[in-house]
Amino acid sequence: MRISELRRIDGWIWEVPRTGAMRVPGRIYADKRLIEDMEDTVLAQVKNVASLPGIVTASFAMPDAHSGYGFPIGGVAAFDPDTGVVSAGGVGFDIACGVRTLVSNLFADDLAGRVPALADALFSRIPAGVGSTGAVRLTAGELDAMLAGGAVWAVSRGFGEKADLDRIEERGRMDGARPEMVSEAAKARQKDQMGTLGAGNHYLEVQVVEEIFNDAAAGLYGLHPGQVAVAIHCGSRGLGHQIGTDYLKRMHDHAAKTGVSFPDRELAHAPIASDLGQRYLGAMRSGINAALANRQILTHMVREVFAEMFPGSRLALLYDVSHNTCKAETHMVDGVPRLLFVHRKGATRSLGPGHPDLPPGLAAAGQPVLVGGSMGTASFILSGTAAAETRAFASACHGAGRAMSRKQAARHFKPRTVLEDLEHMGVAVRAHDFRGLSEEAPGAYKNIEAVADAACRAELAAKTARVRPLACIKG
């Protein structure tokens, strides 16, 4: 992206001036280098989103932004409930894809020599890969209960602990889900897929806390140097994908009938205040619950593996946050609180200290903002800031962000070399799809340090801890 097309507000805040069909300006939070390395399509997508009806304040891109389906991945946009739209492409196909981090009472020394065996045990226990099915099989009735109940449902069925729920966005259950708005095809795809990791950039990592940046916040999060943590990155599997597919088509069909045109085919949308918009929201919220339940079931399985290998070990849920959602939230606009529908596509919520939606144990530090790196590189545990509310409706980056497309990466990296490099770095990698390792090569992603630095300099979040991987399970 050419920096000359932007207006610099400060070193980490850049404006895309309003031109053409844009209803609001664009705004990119990143440093000069990250912006220069972003594809031109990111700028085009920021502008396209800025032209959608009812958008409020600006169309935002986070420092990890790269080209996505319609919206950039790393895109944030909020819409007025009366005049605005909801976009199936703006949420994406992997509805409520997200990260949860579990903090153990083990330290790296406790794992000495046993990381490969732990990786093997997790690899054999956790189903993963495209089309994988899990040990949990749901009847039609149970599936609907899951879609309505999310992680609350999962806990009620014996997966995990009640205490986990406080540490999940929406307290483990997204309100307003309408399972009857989810197609039978989507349900059929999901009924045997609960408790599976998926593929692509999804992973399960055993990590060690490498550095603490903020003692007070890290203390509240229960993080100490050398401590072992587990991160689970996955989403709503086939169900979310099918909901996205179903409603993109409906949004196109509806637009064709009513003579509405889209700035980009991939930005198909419907008015929030329409029947179709409400149906999509009901289905999409069911997808959020599926992702929350899925990560809850996986947590239970990880705890079982740890309990067998390390008797007496505990894994407490630090936090679970989704990064592909559209949620109704109240934000300050021009000094007035307004209900808005916030799309976060590859972007993480970042609530500052004292926010009423935070559980009491986390309120003083702000929401854990879980920023997953690529295989082999560090991940960051940031904390939400009060300033994030004024930056991008309390949002921050969600990961390192791709620097290369999957196709480019597959051409550029040999899977064997990727695996050897990671083993050399001391990361035990176990992958269901050997060839897929190319697409996930660390070199295919941006520099996580640069992304986290930019996010924190732009005050989207604040640094609390950096963790590095010991073992990585891939789909």
Partner DNA sequence: ATGTAC
Q: Which residue has the tokens 């069911």?
A: 286
- Does residue 323 sit in helix, strand or coil? coil
Rounded to a whole number of angstroms, the CA Rg of the chain reads 21
Distance from CA of residue 456 to its chain's centroid? 18
Smallest distance, DNA to C-beta of residue 132, A: 8
Residue 242 in contact with DNA, rule: CB under 7 A: yes
372 assigned ligand-binding residue: yes
Of 168 and 444, which has the nearer Cβ to DNA?
444
Quote helix, strand, coil % in the chain, to nearest 5: 40, 30, 35
Smallest distance, DNA to C-beta of residue 340, A: 26
| Strand spans (E) along 30-154 | 55-66, 73-79, 85-87, 98-107
Residue 241 in contact with DNA, rule: CB under 7 A: yes
Which CA distances in Å does 103 have to 161, 168, 233, 342, 399? 14, 14, 15, 29, 19
Stretch that binds DNA, among 2-10, 235-243, 388-396, 450-458 (CB under 7 A): 235-243
Applying CB under 7 A, which of residues 84, 127, 134, 198 lies at the interface with DNA? Answer: 198
Our answer to whether residue 432 is catalytic in this structure is: no
CB 168 within 8 A of CB 292: yes
324 assigned ligand-binding residue: yes
| Strand spans (E) along 186-226 | 203-212
233 assigned ligand-binding residue: yes
Smallest distance, DNA to C-beta of residue 432, A: 9
Exposure string over 143-162, b if 16+ CB within 10 A, otherwise e: bbbbbbbbbbbbbebebbee
Residue 411 in contact with DNA, rule: CB under 7 A: no
Stretch that binds DNA, among 56-64, 238-246, 334-342, 442-450 (CB under 7 A): 238-246
Number of residues forming the site for DNA (CB under 7 A): 21
Q: 10 Å Cβ neighbour count for 11?
A: 12
Residue 97 in contact with DNA, rule: CB under 7 A: yes
Residue 237 in contact with DNA, rule: CB under 7 A: yes
Residue 279 in contact with DNA, rule: CB under 7 A: no
Smallest distance, DNA to C-beta of residue 129, A: 7
Angle at CA of residue 145, ends 141 and 147, nearest 5°: 115
CB 302 within 8 A of CB 233: no
247 assigned ligand-binding residue: no
Stretch that binds DNA, among 11-19, 99-107, 230-238, 253-261 (CB under 7 A): 230-238
Applying CB under 7 A, which of residues 94, 170, 205, 459 lies at the interface with DNA? Answer: 94
Smallest distance, DNA to C-beta of residue 378, A: 18
Of 131 and 225, which has the nearer Cβ to DNA?
131
Residue 238 in contact with DNA, rule: CB under 7 A: yes
CB 102 within 8 A of CB 315: yes
| Strand spans (E) along 304-427 | 315-322, 324-333, 336-345, 347-349, 368-371, 379-384, 395-397
Give the integer Cα–Cα distance in Å for 400 and 234: 16
Say how many residues make up the chain. 475
84 assigned ligand-binding residue: no
Of 199 and 470, which has the nearer Cβ to DNA?
199
CB 196 within 8 A of CB 133: yes
Stretch that binds DNA, among 141-149, 234-242, 267-275, 385-393 (CB under 7 A): 234-242
Residues 6+ apart with CB under 8 A from 50: 16, 18, 22, 23, 24, 25, 26, 58, 59, 77
Applying CB under 7 A, which of residues 13, 108, 185, 450 lies at the interface with DNA? Answer: 185
Which CA distances in Å does 346 have to 141, 148, 382, 446? 32, 24, 16, 14
Q: Dihedral sign, CA of 412, 414, 419, 423? A: negative
Applying CB under 7 A, which of residues 26, 89, 195, 235 lies at the interface with DNA? Answer: 235
The residues in 122-151 that bind DNA, with binding defined as CB under 7 A, are 130-131
Smallest distance, DNA to C-beta of residue 227, A: 26
Of 97 and 102, which has the nearer Cβ to DNA?
97
Distance from CA of residue 95 to its chain's centroid? 9
Applying CB under 7 A, which of residues 61, 147, 148, 199 lies at the interface with DNA? Answer: 199
Indicate which residue of 254, 398, 412, 424 is catalytic. 398
Stretch that binds DNA, among 168-176, 199-207, 304-312, 359-367 (CB under 7 A): 199-207
145 assigned ligand-binding residue: no
Binding site for DNA (CB under 7 A): 93-94, 97, 130-131, 185, 189, 193, 198-202, 234-235, 237-238, 241-242, 433, 475
Catalytic residues: 398
> Where is the binding site, in residues?
94, 201-205, 233, 323-324, 372-375, 379, 398-401, 474
> Which residues are annotated binding-site positions for Mn(2+)?
94, 202, 233, 323
